[in-house]
Structure 1
Amino acid sequence: MLVFVFSLAALVCTTAARPSLNYLQNHFSAVEESEEVRSAAIKRLLEVFGMDDPPSIHGHKQPPQYMLDLYNTVADVDGVTKDPYLLEGNTVRSFFDKLQSEQVEFRFNLSTVARSEKILTAELHLFKLRPQATMTFNRHHFCQVSVYQLLGSTKTNNTQEKKLLSSRLIPVHSTGWEVFTITQAVRTWMVDEGSNLGLHVVVRTLGGSLMDLKLIRFASGRNHHQSKQPMLVLFTDDGRRSTTLESIDPDDATAASRLPHAPMSVPPSRSARSLDHSDEDGTSMPCQRLPLYVDFEEIGWSGWIVSPRGYNAYHCKGSCPFPLGQNMRPTNHATVQSIINALKLIKGIETPCCVPDKLFSINLLYFDDDENVVLKQYNDMVAGSCGCH
C-alpha cells in the first residue's frame, strides 16, 4: 500500500512538472518563427551586400598585403570610406596564379567575376627576386620585361601565338613588386572564357636577346611564400549606384573620416516617427543621430569577412516640432509641412520625420567562394547626419 502511495505521488509530480502539449506547441512554433525571421533577415542583409549566400571558407588564408594596404588607404578603422575618389570603381578583386608554374607563364580563374561587372583596370603583380649571388657581376643593369597574352596555336608549326600587352625597362638588381597593365586581355577573357589561355612573360636584354632566367627571376606560386605569389588585381564597377541620398559632397570628401566613434552597445532603436517621441524622463528629444553598431561576428560572418569586424551605421531619432530651426537641417518641404501641422490647416498632416540627410559608404574586405580576396564599396550604409524631412 505504501508503495502504491509513493507511485501515485510520483506520477502526480511528474504530470505536474511536464509541460502541456499546447505549451510545447507554442514554444516550438515561437522558436521556428524566430529562426524563420532570422533566416529572412540574414538573406535580406546578404542582398544588401550583393550576395545570394555567404561564401564557404574551408581554411583561413592570409589576405595579400596589397589588398590590406589598399583597404587601409580607402577606409578608416570602421570601414567608412575616407574619400570616394580614391578607389577606381567600387570593387577590387585579387586572384592567385592557378598554374603555379616554375616558368614565366601564369593563368587566373576569373569565374567568380560577374559578366555584368565592367572591367576598368587589370594589373599583373609579379614579385621580382634578387639575382643569384654568382650572377651579380653581369654587365647588364636594365632588362626589358614584356607580358604577352597567349593565343591559340598556329596550324603550320604548332607554335603558340601571343599578343603583346605591356612592356617596360626594369633594373636588373632591383627587388620587389612590379606591376603590368593587362586590361585588354582580361576584357577579352570576360567576353569569351575559352580564350583565357594565360599570360607569358619574356625578359630580354637591351640588345634584344633572351636573358638568363637565373639573373632575372620572379617568384612563383610553387616555390615561394604566398606573400610573393603572382597575382592578378581587377578594378571593376558592378553597376550599383546610390538610389537615395548623395553619399558625399565632393567639397566634403573628408567628412566620413571625421565621424565620431560611438559606443558599441546601444539601446534598441524605436520608430523614426517623431510626433510622440519622448525620453524616459518625459521630455521631448530633438532630432539627432544616435549609435547603431552592426557586429558581423554576432551575425556569424566573421569567418569570411577580413575587415571591418563591424561598423557603426547610426540611426536618426527624435521629434521635429514647430518651428523647425536650422540646426534640424529641414528641407523647405519639411518646413511647410511643419507649418501646416502647427496651424492644423489640413487634418491628418503629421510633423516631419527625423531621417538621415547624408549617407556615407563603407568598404568590406572579404574572401569569396574561390578564396580570392575582394574589396567592395557599398553606398548608403552610414547615416552621416540627421535632419527633419
Structure 2
Amino acid sequence: MQNSPWKLRCAALCFTLLSITGVQLRPLAEQEKMIQLEAVKKSILDKLGLHKPPVIREKMDKDEMRKMYWLYQEKLMELQRNGSKEDTLERRVHLLTPKLEHSRKKCGMHGSNSHRYSLVFSRTQTIHQQLSVMRAELKLCKEMLTALRSAAANSTSKAMVHIYKVSESKHANGEQEHKLLDSRLVDEDTLTLNVDSAVQQWVSSSEKCLRLELEITFDKPFVGVGSKRIGADATLVLEVETQEHASSKTRRVRSLSDEDCKKSEKKCCRKSLLVSFEQIGWSDWIVHPTTYEMRFCDGSCPHNYKPASMHAQIKYRMHHINGDTPAPCCVPGSYDPMVLMHYNAERKLVFTVFEDMIVRKCHCA
C-alpha cells in the first residue's frame, strides 16, 4: 500500500505523455494521417528554405494581389504548354478482315487470264477520323499463296496480284472507278500489298466502308484458279498501323482511373490525402492553392506487376531465389508539377514551382 501514491503518480504521468503525443488516443488511420501531414509540412518548408512558417503582419493591397494572381495564372498556362509539348504519340495496330466475294466483272487489261475478288472493310470503333495512318498493308494468307504458286507451276505461267481502290464514278454512266494501288509477283511465302493512300483517305473521311478489288492474273491463259480454289474462304488481313496524340489531359484522366487504389487494393497503387492549408494553419502565408492533393505510392510488388524496368524484374527474381536482394518497392513513376503562391522569408509574395510534388503514376522499382 505504500507504493500506491507512486503508482498513481506514474500512471498520471504516462497518461499526460500519451495525451501530449497523441499515442493510442487516436485511431491508427488518424495517426497515420497526422504523420503524413507533418511530412508534407516539413518537406514544403525545406523546399522553400524555411525553418518555420513566416509571420505575415501586412499583406498586399488588392491591386498588387490581382497582379500576382495574373502572373500565377500565366505560370500555370506555361506549365500546361510545356506539358503539351511532351505529349506522347500512341501507336496501335488494327487487324481488319474483309467481306470477300468472287467478282465476274472485268477489271484492267487481263481479260480471261484474271480472277478478281471484291473486298469490303467495315469501320470499327477503334478506327476514327483523328488517326494518322503510318502503314497499311493487305496480307495474303499462306493457303492462297500456296494455291497460286501451285497453279502457276502447273501451267508454267507467272502469277501476279494487283490491288485496286474502288470508288463510285463521277460520270453520268455510273461505272465504278478502279485505281491501281500496288502489284506484286507471287514468288515468296508471304505477300503484302501497300494500300497506304486508300486507307488514309478512308480513315480521314466519313465513309463507313472501304472497297478494294483484288485481281490475280497469269501471263498465259489458265482456268485452274477460281472461286472454288480461292474464293470466299480465303483469308485476307488488312493490317493498319495508326498514330494519334495522347494529350496530357487524356493521360491524367487515364492515370486517375488506372492508378488510384481500388477498395481493399493491396498491390502497388496510388493513394491520396487532401491537405487543407487552412486546417494546418498555413492559410496566412500560402495564398494559392488553398488545398493540395498529396498522392503517394503504396502496396506490394508481386512478380511482373507494374515493373519499372527489366532491372526491376531481375531484382524480383533474385529476391525470390535467395532473399538477400531487396524486393522491388512501390515508388512514383512520374509527376505533375504544382505552383505555390506564398510569402517568403522576406515577407514578399512569390510563387514557387514544385516539379515533383504530385504523383501521377506508380510502379515497382
Q: Decide: shared fold, TM above 0.5.
A: no
Higher normalized contact order (CA 8 Å, seq sep 6+, divided by chain length): 1
Q: Which category describes the TM-score, using the shorter chain as reference length?
A: 0.3 to 0.5
- TM-score, normalised via structure 2 length: 0.41
- TM-score, normalised via structure 1 length: 0.38
Larger relative strand fraction: 2
Higher radius of gyration, 1 or 2: 2
